[in-house]
Chain A
Amino acid sequence: MSLQLMKLCDKVLNEYYGNIVAQVGKMLFERGSHPLRDIHRLTGLPRSKVAEALAVLIQHNLVEVEEWRPNIPSYKLLHDRIFLILRFPRYVFLVREQFGEEGEMVVDVILKEGQATASHIIVTSCIKLLEASENAAGGSSITSSPFELKHVTLRNHLIKLIENGFIQRCPSPQTLGKPCPTMSIKEDELHSFPPELLDLKALQQEIQARRAGNTNPDISHPNTDVLWRINYERFHVEFRDSEIRNSIHRRVDPLAGECLGAMLKLSYRTSDPWAPTLNPVSVAEIRDQLKDLKYLNQYLKILEEQSGGCVQLVGDAGGGQYRLNLANAVNTLTHALIYNIIQDRYGSKAARVFRLIHKNSMMEQEQIAELSMIGKKDAYTLCSRLFRDNFLQLQELRKTYAPSPANKTIYLFHVDINSVVRNILEWCYKALYNLIVQRETRGSENRRLLEKRTRVDSIVENLRQSGGTDDQIKEVEEMLSPSERALVEQLMTIQDKLFDAEIGLDETLFILQMYLYYSS
């Protein structure tokens, strides 16, 4: 909870859901959980608008309903979820890598909708896929037979995603008719897909009706009250594992990374992926997984030594029992991240000083200069610069509190990683906010130009569809002068650059958040 985070959340909500939702979100962020009446009073928005905004937020899993007083619900903002919206492209990308285009489309639809029924997901993504393939084919001559079965493949993908835990079932209200429903769900229902929920025939009918241009066909599906949503944690497990694997890959070699990956997979069979230490796996099990790996035992030994406390040998049963300590792994990664940030921002000597202090916990300036082999003056400057930016902390040691020149006060530098992490986190929020503001400004400064381009593009598109001649198309295209065209190009590259930076920044954020998760 911080000012930067609030500003960031406000920006994100504004961008994705509009002004009113952002206002409600901001109020809830500032003041915590409140009932509808108070939100209405405090934001000064009409009651109906507030209700709509809350509905949007609930639909997108950003607000939770709590019982505030008997029979009066209050609404609580889940602020951590808000900037996960910025992580959506990464989720989609991950699913694309693992499940292909169909999976990507399914997740994309769910992310856009927040919560959706299976039939809705399948129909929407099916239509989108068909449209995309039509555009790619460039004409209307679609061979219909393979596409008929598209909804079946999509259903299979959806089920696969659900079974792998990427998508979960939303809890449903257990007590109907009460103003504050208690939402709950059974553990085993969370990630299983009951086959009776889908009527394939109805799906096909709806797809065909939609394709024919009927936007609201009257077809009923048997699953209207079962909603699905994204399971963020499952994605985060994947992200975290890939960070750990990549770090080993960089430190040792690709095979070691693979080895660690196999160990992770094995551990998940028996343990909760979010526990700080996973249950041990035996060498025999690992060997089963990695039959081709020639030097498995050697790799395990190296992993034990070099993974920064991630792989620990705990026993000799079954050829050796190895335990994965993910809290340690994340710790090591965070330290590496902080060192890298300091090195790149303040230079390698500052990083040396920081690491030296971090390793030796409490240090005096004289010692720092001596051990880091930096000139005394330079070392002092570096220390004070790091101190100024809150990377270092100072501990004062006095023999007595009476001020006297004779007893010199000793000042010891030390590092509080937790505060450093929070510090960098704040800084990331700020940077992210700045990037979004920059992107918005670039967009709004050139709004007219962009609008013109969209208009021209759509006219050209229409002409193409209606079979206009090349001359006509060219004429319309010339409505945009070459200089305007160049400007649009430039603008697009800038927007892309900013967007890429936002996603990149999220990776840094992710590691820091993992650290906070494990340290709490």
Chain B
Amino acid sequence: MAATDLSAEIEQRVLELCGEFKQGITYQIIQNDMPQLKLDTIVQVINKLLATSRVDMLKKDDDVLVFKLRDPGTIHRIKGAEPEEQVVYKIIEECGTSGIWAREIRAKSNLHLNTVEKVLRKLESKKLIKSFNSVMAPKKKSYLLYELEPDRSLTGGAWYSDQQFDSEFVDILNQQCCRFLEDKLTSARQVAGGPIAVCNTSYVSSKDVLKHITLIGITKVRLTIEDIETILDTLVRLTIEDIETILDTLVYDGKVERSISGGGGGGGGEESVKLYRIVSSLLPTPNIITIPCGVCPLIKECYHVGNVTPVKCRYMKEWLNLEW
């Protein structure tokens, strides 16, 4: 029949287009390619392709539908598997790097929880998917495709090792950044040409800080007893954003000042750069802290009568070198 021939032809053409545009095609592209076609026909063809799972339908940010050729590998991998496995695999695949909980898979697939778990175990043993624990909810297991890395929001990025916040690492970086900026200020003080020149040279961009940090090599290696690939992955790479977070903590410590430079003068296309500069506190140590009452944990309970009184105070006596 001519109609089927036509639709087969269109199918072929759509697939060709998909092959041409690796990032996917929209309705608009199909329409432009075959202006004689009606929207209905295109929809029919697309639906057929989707049903035979030869293309994927995706949605872009601006709500435009995009069609992409399905990776032949996935078809191959899941081929011959049981339909449950296919369904579950598809659900997990859809979630991409953000992972999905078993419970949600069950809700989406309408399968019984036991079945889902069985299927998951099977897929895991076939090394098609893997499980991991998110830092947000360490007790809930999430699944994602084997070859994907979990999203930063789930692993916590560079700051987490083994789902634990690595505060020591943060502290070390914090100190190192601070030291680097301090050195910059000392060298800037030697610059001739007035206070503004000193001020400007003491500013450092986050990029430079990152360069310095990578250079001195404070990156941690998280060793797990997995294969060599994992080791390569776990070598945590610090990104500019990571360093900026660290520098921001210094801003909140009151040690550093942030300023934003507008793209290096006339370049136009250049992005604005965040600059950091170390500053000293406006005031010296407040005097109240230098006396025992300033750091006394019991100051609230201290009255002229009772068990905690200034006369009986041990801290006071220690401070005054009296025996008690």
Residues of A within 8 A of B (CB): 7, 247, 250-253, 255-256, 294-295, 298-299, 301-302, 306, 308, 332-333, 336-337, 339-341, 343-345, 348, 351-352, 355-356, 359, 371-376, 378, 389, 424, 427-428, 430-431, 433-435, 437-438, 441-442, 490, 494, 497-498, 501, 504-505, 507-508, 511
Tell me the minimal C-beta distance from A297 to chain B in angstroms: 9
Do A298 and B302 touch across chains, with their CB atoms under 8 A apart? no
Do B195 and A437 touch across chains, with their CB atoms under 8 A apart? no
Cα(A433)–Cα(B291), bound, Å = 12
Q: Does B19 contact A (CB under 8 A)?
A: no
Cα(A340)–Cα(B289), bound, Å = 9
- Residues of A near B311 (CB, < 8 A) are 437-438, 441
Do A373 and B245 touch across chains, with their CB atoms under 8 A apart? yes
B135 (CB) vs chain A CBs: closest residue: A376
Tell me the minimal C-beta distance from A352 to chain B in angstroms: 5
- Residues of B near A341 (CB, < 8 A) are 286, 288-289, 294
- Asked, given contacts A373-B249, A374-B167, whether A355 binds B195 with beta carbons under 8 Å apart, the answer is no
Q: Does B254 contact A (CB under 8 A)?
A: yes
- Residues of A near B159 (CB, < 8 A) are 373
Do B293 and A355 touch across chains, with their CB atoms under 8 A apart? no
| Known contacts A375-B165, A441-B310, A501-B291; 11 further A-B pairs (Cβ under 8 A) | A247-B282, A298-B196, A301-B196, A302-B196, A333-B282, A340-B283, A344-B289, A371-B245, A372-B249, A389-B300, A434-B302
Do B310 and A373 touch across chains, with their CB atoms under 8 A apart? no
- Residues of B near A497 (CB, < 8 A) are 320
5 contacts between A and B (CB under 8 A): A308-B282, A351-B253, A352-B252, A373-B174, A438-B320
Do B252 and A251 touch across chains, with their CB atoms under 8 A apart? no
Do B252 and A508 touch across chains, with their CB atoms under 8 A apart? no
Do B283 and A247 touch across chains, with their CB atoms under 8 A apart? yes
- Residues of B near A442 (CB, < 8 A) are 320
Tell me the minimal C-beta distance from A11 to chain B in angstroms: 10
Cα(A378)–Cα(B165), bound, Å = 11
Cα(A375)–Cα(B169), bound, Å = 11
Tell me the minimal C-beta distance from B243 to chain A in angstroms: 12
Do B282 and A332 touch across chains, with their CB atoms under 8 A apart? yes
Tell me the minimal C-beta distance from B179 to chain A in angstroms: 15
Q: Does B279 contact A (CB under 8 A)?
A: yes
Q: Does B287 contact A (CB under 8 A)?
A: yes
Do A427 and B299 touch across chains, with their CB atoms under 8 A apart? yes
* Among candidates B246, B293, B321, residue contacting A431 with C-beta atoms closer than 8 Å: B293
Cα(A501)–Cα(B300), bound, Å = 20
Q: Does B285 contact A (CB under 8 A)?
A: yes
A428 (CB) vs chain B CBs: closest residue: B288
Do A352 and B253 touch across chains, with their CB atoms under 8 A apart? yes
A-B pairs, top 7 by smallest CB distance, nearest first, are A504-B287, A431-B293, A434-B310, A295-B194, A336-B282, A247-B282, A375-B165
Q: Does B284 contact A (CB under 8 A)?
A: yes
Do A359 and B252 touch across chains, with their CB atoms under 8 A apart? yes
Do B199 and A302 touch across chains, with their CB atoms under 8 A apart? yes
Q: Does B224 contact A (CB under 8 A)?
A: no
A511 (CB) vs chain B CBs: closest residue: B283
Q: Does B125 contact A (CB under 8 A)?
A: no
Cα(A339)–Cα(B155), bound, Å = 33
Do A494 and B320 touch across chains, with their CB atoms under 8 A apart? yes
Do B280 and A251 touch across chains, with their CB atoms under 8 A apart? yes
Cα(A376)–Cα(B248), bound, Å = 17
**Residue of B159, B287, B290 with most partner-chain A CB within 10 A:** B287
Do B249 and A352 touch across chains, with their CB atoms under 8 A apart? yes
Tell me the minimal C-beta distance from B282 to chain A in angstroms: 4
Do B252 and A372 touch across chains, with their CB atoms under 8 A apart? yes
Tell me the minimal C-beta distance from B156 to chain A in angstroms: 10
A501 (CB) vs chain B CBs: closest residue: B291
Do A438 and B310 touch across chains, with their CB atoms under 8 A apart? yes
Cα(A230)–Cα(B157), bound, Å = 64
- Residues of B near A352 (CB, < 8 A) are 249, 252-253
Cα(A416)–Cα(B310), bound, Å = 30
- Asked, given contacts A352-B252, A355-B253, whether A508 binds B286 with beta carbons under 8 Å apart, the answer is yes
- Residues of B near A433 (CB, < 8 A) are 310
B165 (CB) vs chain A CBs: closest residue: A375
Q: Does B57 contact A (CB under 8 A)?
A: no
Tell me the minimal C-beta distance from B254 to chain A in angstroms: 5
Tell me the minimal C-beta distance from B286 to chain A in angstroms: 5
- Residues of A near B321 (CB, < 8 A) are 490, 494
Cα(A253)–Cα(B280), bound, Å = 11
Cα(A249)–Cα(B99), bound, Å = 55
- Residues of A near B252 (CB, < 8 A) are 352, 355-356, 359, 371-372
Do B194 and A434 touch across chains, with their CB atoms under 8 A apart? no
A506 (CB) vs chain B CBs: closest residue: B287
- Asked, given contacts A302-B195, A344-B294, A434-B313, whether A250 binds B283 with beta carbons under 8 Å apart, the answer is yes
- Residues of B near A431 (CB, < 8 A) are 288, 291, 293-294, 299
Q: Does B170 contact A (CB under 8 A)?
A: yes
- Residues of A near B285 (CB, < 8 A) are 340, 344
A305 (CB) vs chain B CBs: closest residue: B199
Q: Does B190 contact A (CB under 8 A)?
A: no
* Among candidates A251, A339, A376, A430, residue contacting B293 with C-beta atoms closer than 8 Å: A430
- Residues of A near B316 (CB, < 8 A) are 434, 438
Cα(A299)–Cα(B260), bound, Å = 20
Q: Does B304 contact A (CB under 8 A)?
A: yes
Cα(A497)–Cα(B317), bound, Å = 12
Tell me the minimal C-beta distance from B250 to chain A in angstroms: 9
- Residues of B near A343 (CB, < 8 A) are 254
Q: Does B295 contact A (CB under 8 A)?
A: yes
Tell me the minimal C-beta distance from B96 to chain A in angstroms: 23
- Residues of A near B246 (CB, < 8 A) are 373
- Asked, given contacts A434-B316, A501-B290, A505-B288, whether A298 binds B194 with beta carbons under 8 Å apart, the answer is yes
Cα(A282)–Cα(B283), bound, Å = 28
Tell me the minimal C-beta distance from B257 to chain A in angstroms: 8
Cα(A327)–Cα(B227), bound, Å = 63
Tell me the minimal C-beta distance from B256 to chain A in angstroms: 12
Q: Does B114 contact A (CB under 8 A)?
A: no
Tell me the minimal C-beta distance from A310 to chain B in angstroms: 11
Cα(A468)–Cα(B94), bound, Å = 107
- Residues of B near A424 (CB, < 8 A) are 288
* Among candidates A256, A435, A501, residue contacting B195 with C-beta atoms closer than 8 Å: A256
